[in-house]
Every structure is written in C-alpha cells, then in structure tokens.
Amino acid sequence: MVTILAIGLLQPGLLFAVNNENEFNPNYILSDEELQDWQSADQTDIQVFLVDNGGYLSRLRIEDKDGVRRTAADIIYRAAQEYKINPKYLLVKLQKEQSLVTDPNPSQKQLDGAAGYGITDGCGWSCDVYLRNKGFGKQVDSAAGIMRWYYDNVSNESFIKKTGELYTIDNTRVRPATLATAFLYTYTPHIEGNQNFWTLWQKWFEQIYPDGTLVKIADNPNVYLIQGGKKRLIKSMSALITRFDPKLILAIPSSELARYELGNSITLPNYSIIKSADNYYLLDYDTLRPFQNHEVVRQLGYHPDEIIEVTPSDLADYPSGAMITADTKAPLGRLVRAKENNSLYFIKNDTYYSIYDEKIARAALSLFAEEKVAIAELKDLTQGSPILFKDGTIIGIEGSNKIYVIENGEKRHIASEDVFNGLGYNWANIIWTNQFAGMAHKNGQAVYLNRNVQVAGANESNVEEETATEGKMIKTPEDSAVYTGPIFETDVDVYLAADYATGQALAGKNIDIVRPMASFAKVMTGFRLLTEGINLSRINTFSEAKHRAEYDRYRVVDGEMIRNRDLMDAMLVSSLNTPARMLAISVDTNENAFIGRMNSQALSWGLNKTMFTDVAGAGLSNKTTAGEFLTIFTQSMNNSNLKNYLAKKDYKYSEVLDKDGMPDHFDNNSNDLVNKSDLGFTILASKTAYLDEAGAGLAMLIQRLADGKKFVIITMGNPDYEHRFNEPEALAKWTLANF
C-alpha cells in the first residue's frame, strides 16, 4: 500500500506558509544553499504557484530573452536551470520589485522592469543597463544570471559584497554571513528592500505545520495545537480528548516547535458547563454560549457537580455564541440518520448540515450518539454547509492515490512520501473517504518540506549535555591543517595554547579557521550584560512567548520569577540557552540591537572574523576563530564578575515565584574537569560549547601550580563527544610541560 501511495504523492506544488517566529537579521537574509537550490521547483510547480496567487503572470505568454514566446512559468524555470539559481528566488524578486506574482493587471512598465535589473538609484529607468535588458524575458534571465556571475567573480571584483566584511548600508552596519546575503545587498544596496525580500521569502517558503496539527516533543508530555500560526498548549487530558483524537499527535523536533509563538492555552474540557460570577455558559470549542439563567441549566439536566467555576478573567479570550434558553433543544447538537434515505445529518440551532461520509461523523462527531429520525424533521430547518473533516485530519480519496491534510476546510496535498514521513504523520491514521466527501473540501496549497527544517524523528543538534550525532561535524581536511609552533597530536580540529599575560599563541592548529562558536557566544553575552550594568538583583519573569530559546533545556514555566544573578549561573555555568535570552531582553527589549552591540564590541577589539547572530550561540551563523575567541575570552577575564561566574564549580538557587511546584535549581559546571582533583593545574575559568556541526569546544584559563604561570587553552571541533574533556586535559598538561 505504501509503495502505491508514494507514486501518487509525488505531485508538483510549492509551500506557501507564514513563519511567525523569526525576526529580520540584516546580516543573514538567505543561505547559499537556498539561493542555489535550482531544482526546488519545475515548470508545473511554478505555474501552480502563480495560479494560486492570482496574478497576471499565471496567464502571461511573452517573449523570452531570445525572442521565443513562452509562458512566464517556463521563462522563470529556464532561467533558473541555466544559471542554477532557485526559481523561488526569481518569484520573490518579481514580487518585491513589481508585485507581478499577485498583481492581476500590471502595467507595461511593470513587465518591462520586472526584476528591477539595471534600475539604479543614479539613473533610474533611463539607465543604459536597464534599457539593454528591458522586457520580462530579459529581466528574468538577467536577475538569475547576475547572481551566478556574482558567485563566479566574487574573488575578482571588489564591488561585489562579501561575507565577513563590514558595510554601512542605510546607516546600518552589516556584516553578511552568507554570500547569498552579500549578493542581495550588491543587487539592492538598501536595508528596506532586502527586508521586503526576506519577508516575502518567509511568507511563501518557510516550513509550517498546518493548522489543526497536534504536536509534542519526545520525552515531554506537553501537547500543543498549531492554530493560526501559533502553538496552543493543551493543559489537561480532558481538554485534549474532548476535542481531538490523541493518536494524531505528532512528535516533532524541539527546534520546529520553537518556531511558533505561544498562543492562548486550551484549559477547559470541551462542552464544559462553566460558572463565572452569577453567569453560566456552555463551552462549545472556543465559543462561550451563555445560558439565559440558572433555571435553564437545571431544566436541561446538568448536575451541580458538573459545573466548573472560573473567574471572569479566565473567559476574557472567548467570543460569545448564541444564548441557550428553555426552548433550545439539544444545545450541543444532534447526529441523526434519516429513515427514508439512510443519510446522516447534524442538527444544531435550527440548522441542519449534510454529512457525505460516515467516516466524517466518526472523526468529527464521535461524542454524539446517532438517532433515527424521519426526514420530515428537517423541512422547517435551514440548510447549512456540509460537515467537513476537522483540521489536521489526514485523508485519501477512494480511487486516487494522493494523500491530503485538512486545514481550514481545505485539503492540502502532501507532496511526497518523504514529506509525509518527515512531518511525522502515521500511515495508519489515513482516513479513506468517498469522492463526494473529498470534493466537498476545496484544494489548498500543497505541503512541502523546507530543506533546512528538521524532520520528525531526526536527531537534533542539541547544546551541551545532549547526545551528539555522528557525521555532522564540520571538519578541516587533515592535509589542509595549518599548525602554529610545536605540534600536539590530536584528532581535535582546532586547538590553541596561549600565554595569558601576553596573548601570544604558543601552539595551535587551524587557529584562523572560521567555525561555529556554539555556546562560546555566551561569554560575549555575559560581558555585554555586565558592561551595560545589568542589575543582578532584579527579578526577571519568564514568558514562554518572548524568552524560550532554540535547543532549550531550562526548566521554567510561564510567569515564574528568577533573579538575574541566578539566570547568569544558568547561562554561564550550565550553558543553558533560554536564560541568555531572558537576560538580554531584560537589558534591551530589542534583542537584535543587543546582538548588534555584541558585534560592535568584537569589532572594537579588531575581530573581523567573528559574528554573533543570537545571544546563546544556537545558530550556526555565530562564528569565530580560535585566535579571535582567545581575545574575547581574555578580555572577558578583565571583568571580575564574569570571571567569578566562569570559575564556579556548581550553584543552587530557588525561584522567587514558583508555579509548577519545583522551585529549586542546582547544577554542576558543564566542564567536568573543574571537579576533577588530580589535574595538576588549577582551572581559574572555563566555558564549554557544543553543536553537532561545531563539535565539542572548551576554553579554559589555567594556572600552573609550580610557578603560578597562566595559560589559555582552547579546543574547537572535538569529534569525540563522549570523551570530550580528555583531549583538552591532555593539551593543558602538554602545554604546562612544554612552555
């Protein structure tokens, strides 16, 4: 069965979704992999996308660069193939420059300048370059061709912007983290224009689970409903089972759940009878239906023990529905089968709704017992739209081998078996429905996986204490290794031993190679926090929506309060990510502005290969070299408060306000060596780091017992996670013996 299904699943389409979690980072707009993913869509995919967005391009036939009349979709596809540039890039470019993807009636001028190629601030629409490339076909070809030319000539042409270099664009200091980002600024040298590009890319091509999807993280009991681009925590089993089928819950990576902003929780069981002050309500999913008075509640047979008392504030987010009076029959509704035609209907509030397949009733109305009625019962009722499958339901249509997920009443084709499995769906949960019921659900956008999104069941790149995944670590080929001073034999990709007093590199390997810095970034975060005068005694209140970080392991719930000094322990001693965000946002509500000051600090120290894109080091775009991190680490030692945090062996503290009955926190330093008694040297400060792609890292300030001389030891790219402290210890002892 799976093999047959897979053939039909491989249908064209493009992902069209909104990512609410990300914020624009001018240093990182697009990855090079995305810009050059020239096989991301074929002609049919592009045409479907243009039709779905309703613009003129969906019906345009026009001359291409060679004067041959083709469809717009074909012109876009051919340019993408010729220059090996993502056709999605061209779609976004056409929309950003002239709104051509959505405009149903563009002007000739819009078509002539379709991609904005050759139209500069200096000469505008009269530029010679534009006039030579005027027309839709030439514009699309040139927009793709110039990106490939940038890649081919980036080392030869000084005007092409590059990674790692600092540029001032619209009074903003920008250091592109990818060539794709640098080239976008070369093409359009403005912040606003590139932010518009990024916003469109996020809107159209970033992964999102469809509304109605139930998700959880493995080994975590919390279940969320994805709805309206947000995640809604379902706070009790009764709230879950009265609304949903638990077997539909998907286990997804925590990094994917973190993409979603936290919405309102689902707290009360569906169809609860609720009392607030002197008012009574029936909770009908997310709608509150008021009872006319308590007597109506009593007449309808509700027992006092069934009534849940809440405060008015608990009901603030619920919209009101139709009032329930003594004349209201079956306020929850009735599932009926007509004796005469054996058809199923749902009756509610003087309206009846057809049900085209009994499987819809079983999936969407499982709480209702079926009644046999005469069809005459329907004649005085208003006919409503047919009952459809609930959002999040996986269906197939008899006679077809395509699989769909339902969202907002539409059926979204799941584009392939890889997408189905990658999203975590279970083949056993597919409901096969008849063609009539299937046709009642309009066609929606196809569901595709974004190539950069972690898929369900995959190992995650967890920070610090999580288990490593073999094969992902970025490694410099051994025959390309560059050594400084005497050689210390090791499989670690990068090491550095330096004299602390002078900063001189005594021995090293690949010390100028740029690598992901992982949690080493927290040293700069701590330095800036203390430099900017953070109040360590101030109380910080955790907000799930604002503070939860990628790869989070911090045990905290909404509304709990922790002092900043204790959050510093959690960030620097345990190397936890969420405390880093809580602290940074407490200093500046604009987290990106704080990150900008981290980068400015690095530049002031002359560090041109270092970049920070988040405060915890979770993203791979946080980069540095061992040589430059030596400067960060030694400069940070000048702050006594920061040095004291990095010297701690352990800590313990209690939350100021506890909400989950677990107020106490304690942990040992994430560097196991600090608690080792037979080292032969003293560790004065240290910081660990880990990501799958970065490998394990450790920076230490150590002191020789014999003469008190101090050294800095740095390792990066340690592939042996299980024994990640062995090589740094050996390097430290080797350094003490040789210098």
**What DSSP string describes 502-530?**
T--EEEEESTT--EE-GGGHHHHHHHHHH
| Rounded distance between C-alpha atoms, residue 34 and residue 505, angstroms | 38
CATH number assigned to the domain covering 478-738: 3.40.710.10
pLDDT at residue 428 greater than cutoff 90: no
State residue 3's pLDDT score.
27
How much is the average pLDDT of 55-68?
93
Q: Who contacts 244 (Cβ-Cβ below 8 Å, separation ≥6)?
A: 214, 225, 234, 390, 392
Q: Mapping DSSP to helix (H, G, I), strand (E, B) and coil, where does residue 7 land?
A: helix
Instruction: Give the pLDDT score at 703.
Output: 96
pTM exceeds 0.75: no
- Tell me which of 257 and 717 has the higher pLDDT: 717
**Looking at residue 329, what is its pLDDT?**
79
What's the mean per-residue pLDDT of the chain? Answer: 87
Whether residue 453 has pLDDT greater than 70:
no
Write the burial class of residue 553 (CB in 10 Å: 0-12 exposed, 13-18 middle, 19+ buried): middle
pLDDT digits (tens, 9 = 90+) for 520-547: 999 999 999 999 999 999 999 999 889 9
Taking CA atoms, 269 is separated from 215, 359, 405, in Å, by 18, 24, 25
Query: Would you list the domain boundaries of the chain?
Result: 23-205, 273-315, 478-738
The predicted-structure confidence for 110-158, as pLDDT tens digits, reads as follows 999 999 999 988 898 999 999 999 999 999 999 999 999 999 999 899 9
CA 461/CA 689 separation, integer angstroms: 12
Q: How far, in Å, CA of 182 to CA of 72, rounded?
A: 28
pLDDT of residue 601: 96
Q: Which amino acid is at 381?
A: L
Measured from the Cβ of residue 93, the count of other Cβ atoms closer than 10 Å reads 28
Per-residue pLDDT tens digits for 379-403: 989 999 999 999 999 999 988 778 8
Q: What string of DSSP letters covers 691-704?
A: ETTTEEEEEEEEEE
pLDDT confidence of residue 4:
26
